[in-house]
Amino acid sequence: MATRVHMEALSPTMEEGQIVKWLKGEGEEVSQGDILAEIETDKATMELVARGEGVLRRVFVAEGAAAPVGDVIAVIAAEGEDIAALEKGLGGGGGPAGPEADVPPPGASASPGGPAPARPPRSEAPARIRASPVARRLARDAGLDLADLRGSGPGGRVVKRDVEAAAAAAAAWPTVPGTEFEDVPLSPMRATVARRLAESLGPVPHFFLTVDVDMTRALAARARINELLAARGTKASINDLVVKAVAVALTHHPECNAQWRGDSIRRFDRCHIGVAVAVPDGLVAPVVRDAQAKGLGEIGAEIRELAGRAREKRLQPHEYTGSTFSVSNLGMLGIEAFTAVINPPEAGILAVGAVEERPVAVGGEVVVRPRMRVTMSCDHRVIDGAQGARFLATLKAFLEEPAAILA
């Protein structure tokens, strides 16, 4: 019996997935558990496994294309099994058809009160482009896509003169009308970032608190710790120290280690810190779990390992979900101070600026000290101004005297 291959929910927040690569092609044998394709979700690139066996008879969604969670993207069936009715019912890629229509795909939820609304069918793969062999060779050498060219040959066939004209236009790109910009399609991650920001900054009532921290002792403590860590081939950064200090400070202020749940506020005993990492097409926040109980070297090694896999889109869902508070650091990029957007349902995020030598008044004299500004974004439904201020006062004290958390 034919098995429909659905676009599965491969991450908790995934609404659609993009086919990065089909690892099985049409006509290839498939066993249950085989990896069929690599799917780019809103956070990472995941593997889609086969839940049936036979032959991959039909692929409905090409590499580079996206499909909503629940859509049928391929069919596995026995060699010679008639799937014509199934193909016709799917219309080339999309909704369910036939007797299996009411069976929800793995990871997708059924719509209450009836079947899901019908989606317009996804168009079939484009027909082979008509072009002469010479035109194909010239287009390949010039890096041109034949699909972008209008053929002037018989029946719209792309011929040599069409490619030559397009190549000449490309060479004169700065002066060609209509080529002053490029529309870049949204990746699944960028689309999710856009949606999440709108869900946060609009509905969540933000307010912001800033303190200026003397980092003299923090820098000295980090230097001593790195001397000890050198034997293990690792080191700790200022950001690692901030993550540790935030986690320990949260144990003193559980009202800030909390989430808005709509009809309740959930406070956490354990401190799982999301650390914002920039990736080529967005932002992801791997989670350092129980950061309050880990040493600086352990935190640093974990952040570097998670950040590396985040940039490769190889994080597993449990590695970027479940944070109770977040830290975003732009200090390494020279940013003095900024405000960060809360990641719902968390109630707070700390924005960390650069450590800079600045003149300050100490004991009636002007001296130069390394200073760092940190700004806490608070969800006012969960954290009041005084509560946020007390948390920042504790965090400032820990960073200015790190022996209190590192001893």
Q: Which two tokens stand for residue 217?
A: 């002792």
| Eight-class DSSP state of 142 | H
> Does 105 or 38 have the greater pLDDT score?
38
Looking at residue 28, what is its pLDDT? 92
Q: What is the pTM of this model?
A: 0.65
Which pLDDT band holds residue 91 (cuts at 50, 70, 90)? very low
Q: Report the pLDDT value the prediction gives residue 181, as an integer from 0 to 100.
A: 66
> Strand 348-362 to strand 325-329: parallel, antiparallel, or no bridges (unpaired)?
parallel
Task: Map residue 362 onto helix, strand or coil.
Answer: strand
Give the least confident one: 80-84, 250-254, 318-322, 328-332.
80-84
pLDDT band at 253 (very low <50, low <70, confident <90, very high): very high
The arithmetic mean of pLDDT across residues 223-246, rounded, is 93
Cα–Cα distance, 33 to 163 (Å, whole number)? 45
d(CA 243, CA 53): 47
pLDDT cut 90: percent of the chain above it: 52
Give CA–CA dist 139/332, Å, rounded: 44
Where is 242: in which H helix or E strand?
helix 238-252
Element (H, E) at 377: strand 365-379
Phi/psi of residue 249, each to 5°? -60, -35
The full length of the chain comes to 407
pLDDT at res. 83:
83
> What digits encode the pLDDT tens for the residues 380-406?
999 999 999 999 999 999 999 999 998
**CB-side neighbour CA atoms (13 Å) of 157:** 11
pLDDT(95) > 50 = no
Comparison of pLDDT for 251 and 185, the residue scoring more: 251
Instruction: Name the band, by pLDDT with cuts 50, 70 and 90, for residue 178.
Output: low
pLDDT score, position 119: 39
- Look up residue 301 and give its two tokens: 């090694």
For residue 94, pLDDT over 50 is answered with no
Q: What is the residue whose two structure tokens read 């009041």?
A: 384
Per-residue tokens: 134: 């010479």
Q: Is the pLDDT of residue 182 over 90?
A: no
pLDDT digits (tens, 9 = 90+) for 30-41: 998 999 999 988
Q: What is the pLDDT confidence band of residue 114, given thresholds at 50, 70 and 90? A: very low
Per the omega criterion (within 30 degrees of 0), is the bond before 205 cis?
Answer: no
Helix (H, G, I), strand (E, B) or coil at 54: strand
- Assess whether pLDDT exceeds 50 at residue 92: no
Tell me the C-alpha distance between 179 and 295, whole Å: 53
**Would residue 189 be called left, alpha or beta, if left means φ above 0 and alpha means ψ between -120 and 50 degrees?**
alpha
Cα dist from 342 to 125, 214, 236, 285, 374, whole Å: 41, 26, 26, 12, 15
Please choose, from the candidates 250, 185, 295, the residue with its C-alpha nearest in 3D space to the C-alpha of residue 398. Answer: 250
pLDDT beyond 50 at 126: no
Does 58 score more than 70 pLDDT?
yes
Q: How far is it, in rounded angstroms, from Cα 322 to Cα 271?
A: 10
* Ranges 92-106, 124-138, 366-380: which has the least confidence: 92-106
As a whole number, mean pLDDT of residues 108-125 equals 39
Question: How far apart (Å, rounded) are the C-alpha atoms in residues 282 and 191?
Answer: 9
Specify the higher pLDDT residue, 83 or 400. 400
The Cα–Cα gap between 107 and 144 comes to 40
The arithmetic mean of pLDDT across residues 48-73, rounded, is: 90
Q: Lowest mean pLDDT of 33-37, 126-130, 183-187, 378-382, name the range.
A: 126-130
Cα 275 to Cα 383: distance, rounded to the nearest angstrom? 21
Mean pLDDT of the region 199-223: 92
Which residues are known catalytic residues?
Answer: 380
Query: Is 298 in contact with 319 (CB distance < 8 Å)?
Result: no
Which pLDDT score, from 0 to 100, does residue 171 have? 67
Least-confidence region, from 52-66, 96-110, 164-178: 96-110
Structure tokens, 137: 């060779």
Q: pLDDT class for 116, splitting at 50, 70, 90?
A: very low
- Per-residue pLDDT at 104: 41
